[in-house]
Amino acid sequence: MQLKEKTAFITGAASGLGLAAAQRFIAEGANVMLFDLDATRVQAAADELGACASWSAGDVSDEAQVTAAVQKTVTTFGGLHINVNSAGIGAAAKTVGRDGPMPLEQFHRVIRVNLLGTFNVLRLCAAAMQKNAPQTEDNERGVIINVASVAAFDGQMGQAAYSASKGGIVSMTLPVARDLARDGIRVMTVAPGIFATPLMQASPEPVKDALIDMIQFPKRMGLSEEFADLAAHIVTSSYLNGEVIRLDAAIRMAAR
């Protein structure tokens, strides 16, 4: 599927990976609906991107808010063809720490936003994609790109909640792709390594240095533009389906 004249619904779109994907898609001729919890930032991002961008603020795990945003997308741009789910949160806490067991609500919140939120958005976007006319000779109607993490495979100490949430995204990639195959909708997951997002850049220098030390080559954090390059490639390469791609410069996370 070509990006030109298609419409993408991107979560976590006010900054980082989501914003980079939006910028790349628009450069290729697509329209983009930016969805983010931060109304002020997502509106500013949409204003900067221009007429090919619109925005909606909400919680990815809230069915009513996402439903309204998906409908706004279809109304504004006439359809919905691509969904990129990059919204997510982290919460570092050991299973049992100095103050006792990890609060269950903390674990629940990470699962709710990262895993439940991803599934909530993709299912509602897929329902909109089903209504599309075939876009290619293969009768392709849509592409969904979920964002997991290398923590799904080798999470560090204190990452039980985050790793579980991202591992769930990895595990549901193939069954969701199978569910949506008859509708001509492809489903892929990207598992980024250490990227220079605003959240990571705010980390203390010793933390960043320790993470970079585990990266093989190139010996640096990933750039949001590199994620956007891969997202664009996934959209345009129609034989990619039901798979997880690690985008991590061969990092393997140490225990801590």
Q: Is 87 within 8 Å of 60 (Cβ atoms)?
A: yes
Closest CA to 130 of 173, 176, 81, 178: 81
- Which residues of the chain fall below pLDDT 70? none
CB 128 within 8 A of CB 74: yes
Q: Catalytic residue numbers?
A: 162
CA-to-CA distance for 29 and 172, rounded, in angstroms? Answer: 30
Cα–Cα distance measured from residue 191 to residue 67, given in angstroms and rounded to the nearest whole number: 26
Element (H, E) at 192: strand 185-192
Distance CA 32, CA 40 (A): 17
Q: 173, 177, 148: which is closest to 246 by C-alpha?
A: 148
**In angstroms, how far is CA 203 from the centroid of its own chain?**
21
Distance of CA 88 to the CA centre of its chain: 8
Give the amino acid at 220: R
Radius of gyration, CA atoms only, the chain: 18
Going by C-alpha positions, the residue among 35, 1, 2, 40 that lies closest to residue 19 is: 35
Architecture (CATH level 2) of domain 7-88+116-149+168-246: 3-Layer(aba) Sandwich (3.40)
Cα–Cα distances in angstroms (integers) from residue 19 to residues 36, 176, 187, 240, in the given order? 10, 25, 20, 23
Domain limits, the chain: 7-88+116-149+168-246
Which residues lie closer than 8 Å to 160 by C-beta, 6 or more apart?
A: 93, 94, 95, 102, 107
Phi-psi region of 135 (alpha: psi -120 to 50; beta: other; left: phi over 0): alpha
One-letter amino acid for residue 241 of the chain? N
Computed from CA positions of residues 59, 65, 67, 69, in that sequence, does the dihedral angle turn out positive or negative?
A: negative
- Do the strands 100-101 and 96-97 form a parallel or antiparallel pair, or are they unpaired? antiparallel
Pairing of strands 142-147, 244-247: unpaired
The length of the chain is 256
Sign of the dihedral through C-alpha 25, 28, 33, 38? positive
| Per-residue pLDDT at 200 | 79
Position of tokens 């320790």?
Answer: 210
